[in-house]
Amino acid sequence: MVCQLGAFPRRSLEFFGGVSALLVGDFFQLPPVRQKPLYSTASTGLSSLERRGQVAYRLFGRTVFLTTVQRQTGDDQAR
């Protein structure tokens, strides 16, 4: 995916080049290995890369929490 993002023309100096981005996943399932999570509020002792990651994460203005487990019903649609 990162290689594909490089194909976009650089129109903006914003994070993600001004392209819309979605973060999807279970961020609370497992902690990051030997690192702080992006949503951590700790600001001391961070490398510049960690600081940039936190800034980028905080730029996401809307959070949607899915609370109902949805599973496929009926016949297998992968056929």
Residue 77 has, within 13 A of its CA and on its CB side, a CA count of 4
**Separation of alpha carbons 40 and 2, rounded Å:** 24
> Is residue 36 a contact partner of residue 50, using CB atoms and an 8 Å limit?
yes
Percent of the chain at pLDDT exceeding 70: 75
Confidence band, pLDDT 50/70/90 cuts, at residue 5: low
Give the Cβ contact number of residue 54 at 10 Å.
19
Split at pLDDT 50, 70, 90, the class of 71 is: confident
Q: pTM higher than 0.75 for the full model?
A: no
Amino acid at 67: T
**Distance between CA atoms of residues 36 and 20, nearest Å:** 25
